[in-house]
């Protein structure tokens, strides 16, 4: 067994990638993401913040109804390494409970805010029963900084690989560049034979260890 750590890609022979969206649900941008993935016949993973789910419960339910994964992104989006162990568990469990109310099951994967982890946080995530803490292969795209659609597209293209996990954002601030970049990338990758799957599904496609 490998030690529990942040996973940027799942080792797989399958031509499949996972698009992930952080910080929603957002009433402006999340529906646009749903439209894009409906058009290309793909699925995505939404790492939702508990506080945002409280604001947009119907939108979170729609994401689930359309077959996408909802992963845990904590309740308030804190730096987990600055919290006590008990506070980390509370952040995970509070958001988890809300996701479970929507989906009927405990989330399988999560992403820590700011990719902020240490050994204690990772061990708590594992103890809480999560199968994967999501990283991303396209960190250089830095969509959160609004670097321009072309930059997001190019840097993501450079990182494409079987089993790759991509990070984008559908919440907090203006996410129009992320949406346009994803529109381009989702069509491109689908045309070139990639399946767009959830992170949870990607785990089922992993090569045997």
Mean pLDDT, 10 residues at a time, the chain of 209 residues: 84 98 98 98 98 98 98 98 98 98 97 97 97 97 97 98 98 96 98 98 94
Is 156 domain-assigned?
Answer: yes
Range of the domain at 62: 6-204
The answer to whether residue 104 sits within a structural domain is yes
pTM: 0.97
Would residue 187 count as lying in a domain?
yes
What is the predicted pLDDT for the residue at 4?
87
pLDDT at 1: 45
Q: Assess if residue 194 is contained within a domain.
A: yes
- For the stretch 183-189, contacts whose Cβ atoms lie closer than 8 Å and that sit 24 or more positions apart, written own/partner, are 183/36, 184/149, 184/153, 185/19, 185/153, 185/156, 185/157, 186/19, 186/36, 186/37, 186/39, 186/40, 186/42, 187/39, 187/40, 188/157, 189/17, 189/160
Domain count of the fold of the chain: 1
Residue 205's pLDDT is 97
Please give the pLDDT value at position 49.
98
Report d(CA 192, CA 156) in Å as an integer.
Answer: 15
Looking at the domain assignment, is residue 127 inside a domain?
yes
Domain at 103, CATH number: 3.20.20.370
Query: Does residue 84 sit within a domain?
Result: yes
Which residue out of 22, 23, 143, 170 is catalytically annotated? 22
- Looking at the domain assignment, is residue 48 inside a domain? yes
Per-residue tokens: 134: 């999501």
Choose among 28, 26, 98, 38: nearest CA to 65.
38
Q: Is residue 1 part of a domain?
A: no
Is 169 annotated as catalytic? yes
The Cβ-side half-sphere exposure at 85, using a 13 Å CA radius, reads 9
Among this protein's residues, is 22 annotated catalytic?
yes
What pLDDT, on a 0 to 100 scale, did the predictor assign at position 71? 98
Q: Which of 8, 73, 77, 169 is catalytic?
A: 169
């Amino acid at each position: 067994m490998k030690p529990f750590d942040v996973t940027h890609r799942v080792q797989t022979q399958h031509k499949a990638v996972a698009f992930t969206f952080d910080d929603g649900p957002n009433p402006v941008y999340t529906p646009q993401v749903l439209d894009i993935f409906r058009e290309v016949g793909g699925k995505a993973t939404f790492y939702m913040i508990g506080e945002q789910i409280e604001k947009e419960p119907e939108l979170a339910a729609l994401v689930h109804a359309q077959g996408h994964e909802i992963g845990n992104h904590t309740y308030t989006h804190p730096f987990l390494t600055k919290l006590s162990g008990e506070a980390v568990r509370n952040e995970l469990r509070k958001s988890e409970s809300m996701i479970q109310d929507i989906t009927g099951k405990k989330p399988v994967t999560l992403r820590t805010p700011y990719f902020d982890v240490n050994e204690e946080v990772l061990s708590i995530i594992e103890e809480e029963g999560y199968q994967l803490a999501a990283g991303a292969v396209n960190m250089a795209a830095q969509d959160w900084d609004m670097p321009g659609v072309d930059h997001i597209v190019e840097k993501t293209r450079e990182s494409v690989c079987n089993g790759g996990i991509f990070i984008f954002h559908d919440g907090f601030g203006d996410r129009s560049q992320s949406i346009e970049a994803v529109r381009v990338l989702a069509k491109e990758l689908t045309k070139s034979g990639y399946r767009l799957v959830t992170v949870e599904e990607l785990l089922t496609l992993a090569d045997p260890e």
